Amino acid sequence: MKTLRQSGFNAADIVSDGNKFLTGNGWLGYRGTLDEYGAKECVALNIAGVYDGVKGKWRETVNAFNPFFAVVYSGKTPLDARGENVCSHEISLEISNGTFSRKTVFSVDGAKVTLCAERFVNAARKNGLCSRITLTSDKDLTLVIKVGVDTDIWDLNGPHFKEVHTSQCGNVIEASGVTQELGYSIRTVCGYSLPPENFCNGFGTVEANLKKGKPFVLDRVAEVLCGGENYSGISYDAARAEHLKEWKRLWKLSRIEISDDERAQFALDYSIYHLLILAPKGEYSIAARGLSGQTYKGAVFWDTEIFMLPFFLHSLPECAKNLVRYRINTLPEARKKAKYYGYGGAFYAWESQDGFDACSDFNVQDVFTHRPVRTYFKDKQIHISADVAYAVLSYYEHTGDDGLMLGGGLETVLECAEFARTYSYYNHIKGRYELLDVIGPDEYHERVNNNAFTNYMFREITVRGIKLAEKLQKKYPTETEEVLKKLPDGIISKLKEWANKLYLPQPDGMGIIEQFDGYFKAEDVNVEEVRSRLKHPNEYWGGSGGVATATRVIKQADVIMLFNLFPELFSKEIQKANYDFYLPYTEHGSSLSHCAYALTACRIGNAEGAYKAFLDSAEIDLRGGGKQWAGEIYIGGTHPAASGGAWMTAVYGFGYKRKEN
Ligand code: BGC
């Protein structure tokens, strides 16, 4: 498998390299940064599903203290990749086994010193990560390495720790803190193969007496520990061995080989790598920006259910189960949210932090006025509940896991349907139920009526949910009765009647399904025209005053995404007509968009369009792509939904085509 390599140093790439060279193990993510970097360079050791909020700021995932700070000194001169004494510099990521390496050659007092460092987040051990520094010189030389656990960490809405303490005991340095909001005690503990001296504030020094040509090695074995967890003290070599073994297993289960196309092969390997480093190690889920930082508050969106889950279902079903369980476990919060807005059933969090909706009423900040912009994602993007139900049903289709369905799965699906039923409005004149005042996947058009994606999604999950209930009723009458008893009386018959009368927008004379009522009346301009109207590069295109709001320009695949979830409901001709119609209006302002077009392109036989969109999805983090700003809000990081989308395109898209032939 090819290694990702990058030679030379460019300060402008520090942040995107942090994403591109990310390592992780599903619980911890370590950005692809250098040991000599600090908070300013966005070093982050991000923890999945551990949240903290600081008063007046958004709640987000916590970054742990950084165990791998190190600067090598020759006298007072640091050996730093940004310095003038650099002869060569290279960083690499071994995607076959999740190892990040750097090799920098410095010119030091007439000697050539090579600094190598490798780092991995232990795939076999939830809280472990290791690093090995190797120094070699072509002359005898004494250097000093400043090492330590850095407590000055990068935060978007921090600082998250109070009561910060550092200490040293023998070869081990530790930094501990307590989170501001929920009082979690989190420690970063790091053991060194040589004891650091001159300890002060988390840092110490190790002297490196280099003998010409002989490598000097310093190992660091770190762990991020919560509450009373203990440091394991495992050796570097033992940790490395278990890590490599686990990566072998992961790739064995998930690798897809593509013949005669190195670029596509690497792009797909890289996408799968990004999914593997996010595979949850427990009943928690995956954030929209994975473990690359605190962007989007470390919250879980529909990205996981619709774009990432398929990969896990086919490759690592035990992780898929964790993802589904996460939603089942957060059903009580979803019920609370529905109730809060005056509805029945379950309305899932648009930005879920353990079920709590972290989505703010003002999720964007205007670049001109610096004022918060009222957005309605939390209140109106109701398709999230359909997405959750769709995921539970897909999980069942793939696994036949009756136990999970009786243990919360069925309840979740029916409650999601019930939410939409109670949200809907009965149009007496037209004799149909309608879903009014919603936001579809295209977030630039808020508060629209009868978004086709939303209506079809709810109809389908309802019909399939009822079938599931009936199947379980036959197989396990008593247990199913117990489940139904927890739900509103007569729920099945009410849902049946509702689903039969729910309005489903039909293709017009040209075969086009209108994205929402009145979409066709919006200004007919393409993406480039709308882009040319921007007065600021980071301007938000949607909301009440966005450049796209009154036009046909959409942020991301909407009707097209629907085809990917229910291809059998729409003929090839209809899919083609809509693909041709919507593509020129699609900005791809969300990383979720390219793969949606790629998948549909595969089904309609547009190989060229499919291939381009596949690469746009698979290479997004290799290219440092994706929007970095929504108004004044930073939205950079990795794009695991695009990685999942690339996987889907390969398997459901190109794979599907092959099957047809
Ligand atoms: C997209 C959403 C997506 C979110 C997180 C937004 O820009 O419009 O569909 O869930 O990003 O990736």
What's the gap in Å between 590 CA and the centre of ligand 1?
A: 6
Helix pair angle (383-399, 317-329), 10° resolution? 140
Q: What is the mean pLDDT of residues 358-368?
A: 92
User: By three-state DSSP, how is residue 102 classified?
Assistant: strand
Assess whether the C-beta atom of 443 lies below 6 angstroms from ligand 1.
yes
Distance 561 CA to ligand 1 centre (A): 13
Instruction: Tell me if 446 CB under 6 Å of ligand 1.
Output: no
pLDDT tier, 69 (very low <50, low <70, confident <90, very high otherwise): very high
Phi, psi of 533 (to 5 degrees): -85, -5
Does ligand 1 come within 6 angstroms of the Cβ of 297? Answer: no
Report whether pLDDT(660) > 80. no
Q: Whose CA is nearest to atom 5 of ligand 1?
A: 288
C-beta of 292 in contact with ligand 1 (< 6 A)? no
Ligand 1 center to residue 58 CA distance, Å? 17
From 377, 387, 590, give the residue whose CB has the most ligand 1 atoms within 8 Å, as the site to mutate: 590
Ligand 1 centroid–CA 641 distance in Å is: 9
pLDDT score of 217 more than 70? yes
Nearest-5° Cα angle at 503, 500 to 508:
125
Atom of ligand 1 nearest to the CA of 641: 12
Alpha-carbon dihedral sign for residues 262, 265, 267, 273: negative
| Pocket of ligand 1 contains residue 587 by CB under 6 Å | no
Tell me the average pLDDT across 234-262. Answer: 97
**Alpha carbon distance 117, 309 (integer Å):** 34
Tens-place pLDDT, residues 442-467: 999 999 999 999 999 999 999 999 99
CA of 119 to the centre of ligand 1 (A): 31
CA atoms of 632 and 366, how far apart (whole Å): 6
The rounded Å distance from CA 608 to ligand 1 centre is 26
**pLDDT (average), residues 2-23:** 97
610 lines ligand 1 (CB under 6 A): no
How many A from CA of 59 to the centre of ligand 1? 18
Distance 39 CA to ligand 1 centre (A): 26
> What is the torsional sign of CA 644, 650, 651, 654?
positive
pLDDT computed for residue 321 by the predictor: 98
Q: Which atom of ligand 1 is nearest to the CA of 627?
A: 7
Task: Verify whether ligand 1 is closer than 6 Å to residue 301 (CB atom).
Answer: yes
* pLDDT over 90 at 496, yes or no: yes
Whether the pLDDT of residue 661 is over 50: the answer is no
Which has more pLDDT, 235 or 363?
235
pLDDT in tens, 251-307: 999 999 999 999 999 999 999 999 999 999 999 999 999 999 999 999 999 999 999
Could you give the C-alpha distances from 405 to 106, 208, 469, 605, in angstroms and in order? 60, 59, 9, 37
Say yes or no: CB of residue 322 within 6 Å of ligand 1: no
pLDDT tens-place string over residues 462-491: 999 999 999 999 999 999 999 999 999 999
DSSP string for residues in 239-282: HHHHHHHHHHHHHHHH----TT-HHHHHHHHHHHHHHHTT--SS
Among 285, 297, 301, the mutation site with the greatest number of ligand 1 atoms within 8 A of its Cβ is 301
Contact (CB, 8 A) for 444 and 549: yes
Tell me, letter by letter, the H, E, C secondary structure of 344-376. Answer: CCCCCCCCEECCEECCCCCCEECCCCCCEECCC
Q: Is the pLDDT of residue 658 over 50?
A: no
Beta bridge partners of 433: 426, 502
Tell me, in angstroms, the distance from the centre of ligand 1 to residue 487's CA: 31
**526 and 553 Cβ atoms separated by less than 8 Å:** yes
With CA atoms as reference, report the closest residue to 528 among 506, 508, 553, 503: 553
pLDDT digits (tens, 9 = 90+) for 293-346: 999 999 999 999 999 999 999 999 999 999 999 999 999 999 999 999 999 999
Assess whether the C-beta atom of 444 lies below 6 angstroms from ligand 1. Answer: no
Q: What are the tens digits of pLDDT across the range 135-178?
A: 999 999 999 999 999 999 999 999 999 999 999 999 999 999 99
The pLDDT mean for the chain works out to: 96
Cβ of 556 less than 6 Å from ligand 1: yes
**Looking at the predicted structure, is the pLDDT value of residue 201 above 50?**
yes
Q: Does any ligand 1 atom lie closer than 6 A to the CB of residue 590?
A: yes
Checking if the pLDDT of 659 tops 60, the result is no
Flag whether pLDDT at 657 surpasses 60.
Answer: no
| pLDDT band per the 50, 70, 90 thresholds, residue 632 | confident
288 lines ligand 1 (CB under 6 A): yes
Q: Kindly state the average pLDDT of the residues 614-627.
A: 94
Is residue 42's pLDDT more than 50?
A: yes
Measured by CA distance, the residue closest to atom 7 of ligand 1 is: 590
User: For ligand 1, is residue 555 a contact (CB within 6 Å)?
Assistant: yes
Alpha-carbon gap, residue 101 to 90, rounded angstroms = 8
Among the atoms of ligand 1, which is closest to the Cα of residue 639? 12
Protein residue with its CA nearest to atom 9 in ligand 1: 441
The ligand 1 atom at the shortest distance from the C-alpha of residue 296 is 5
The encoded tokens of residue 58 equal 């958004």
What is the 465 CA–ligand 1 centroid distance (Å)?
26
The torsion angles phi and psi of 439, rounded to 5 degrees, stand at: -125, 130
Rounded distance between C-alpha atoms, residue 31 and residue 99, angstroms? 12
Name the residue of 303, 445, 587 to mutate for ligand 1: max ligand atoms within 8 A of Cβ: 303
Mean pLDDT on 410-434: 98
Give the Cα separation of 247 and 311 in Å (integer): 16
Domains with residue ranges and CATH for the chain: 4-231 (2.70.98.40), 301-432+455-505 (1.50.10.10)
Distances (CA, A) of 343 to 77, 352, 407, 456: 65, 19, 24, 20
Q: Is the pTM higher than 0.95? A: yes
Ligand 1 atom at shortest distance from the alpha carbon of 591: 12
* pLDDT tens string 511-567: 999 999 999 999 999 999 999 999 999 999 998 889 999 999 999 999 999 999 999
Kind plus residue range of the DSSP H or E element containing 187? strand 185-192
Pocket test for ligand 1, best of 351, 592, 629, 634 (most atoms within 8 A of CB): 592
Is the CB of residue 303 below 6 angstroms from any atom belonging to ligand 1?
A: yes
Dist. CA 629 → ligand 1 center (Å) = 12
CA distance 165 to 187: 9
Relative to the CA of 441, which ligand 1 atom is closest? 9
Q: Does residue 343 sit in helix, strand or coil?
A: coil
Buried/exposed code over 314-331 (b: 16+ C-beta within 10 A; e: otherwise): bbbeebbbbbbbbbbbbb
Of all atoms in ligand 1, which is nearest to the CA of residue 590? 7
**For ligand 1, atom 12, which residue shows the shortest CA distance?**
288
Any atom of ligand 1 within 6 Å of the Cβ of 558: no
pLDDT of residue 630: 80
pLDDT band at 626 (very low <50, low <70, confident <90, very high): confident
Give the active site residues: 443
For ligand 1, mutation pick of 348, 352, 443 (most atoms within 8 Å of CB) = 443
Taking the centre of ligand 1 as the mean of its atom positions, its distance from the CA of residue 329, in whole angstroms, is 23
Beta bridge partners of 224: 188
Q: Tell me the HSE value of 371 on the side-chain side, using a 13 A CA sphere.
A: 6
